[in-house]
């Protein structure tokens, strides 16, 4: 019968100590301008084309000022695909109010048989108490 090897025990203790959990705090993104960037629209997920369909526009909001229409589908912001409303929200967190982004949106033609695609520059608004204010 073999005796257990005791030389491996200190090595295992060192290995376990090295793998101990460490608290790492990730700082919240700071926005020196103030509120979060917004588009001034109510959005819902859309299947074909995949994106975020605009159901309503805020009066005087950034998308309305850029002449984007209700029922258009936002498919990308600055070249990054936005297959759902959540992706639009995440993408907007990268920008500050007042920055200009390129919004690629699809507009339905001929009862949904085909879509026209547009790239529209939009100056992002600022979200203040749930209201999107154009900058």
Instruction: Please check the confidence at residue 109 and state whether its pLDDT lies above 70.
Output: yes
Instruction: Please check the confidence at residue 1 and state whether its pLDDT lies above 90.
Output: no
Ordered structural domains, the chain, with CATH: 37-133 (2.30.42.10)
Q: Tens of pLDDT along 60-89? A: 999 999 999 999 999 999 999 999 999 999
Q: Tens of pLDDT along 38-64? A: 999 999 999 988 999 999 999 999 999
- DSSP codes, the chain: -PPPPTTHHHHHHHHHHHT-----PPPPPP-TTSS-EE-SEEEEEETTTTEEEEEEE-TT-HHHHTT--TT-EEEEETTEE--SHHHHHHHHTTS-TT-EEEEEEEEEETTTTEEEEEEEEEE-EEEETTEEE--
Distance between CA atoms of residues 7 and 34, nearest Å: 59
Instruction: Please check the confidence at residue 93 and state whether its pLDDT lies above 90.
Output: yes
Share of the chain above pLDDT 90, in %: 62
CA 97 to chain centre: 14
């Amino acid at each position: 019968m073999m005796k257990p090897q005791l030389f491996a025990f200190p090595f295992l203790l060192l290995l376990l100590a090295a793998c101990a959990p460490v608290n790492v705090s990730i700082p919240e993104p700071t926005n020196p301008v103030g509120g979060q960037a917004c588009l001034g629209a109510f959005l819902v997920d859309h299947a074909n084309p995949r994106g975020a369909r605009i159901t309503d526009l805020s009066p005087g909001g950034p998308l309305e000022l850029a002449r984007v229409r209700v029922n258009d589908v936002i498919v990308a912001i600055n070249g990054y695909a936005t297959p759902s409303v959540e992706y639009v929200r995440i993408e907007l967190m990268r920008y500050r109010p007042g920055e200009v982004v390129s919004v690629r949106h699809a507009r339905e033609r001929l009862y949904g048989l085909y879509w026209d695609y547009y790239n529209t520059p939009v100056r992002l608004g600022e979200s203040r108490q749930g209201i999107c204010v154009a900058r």
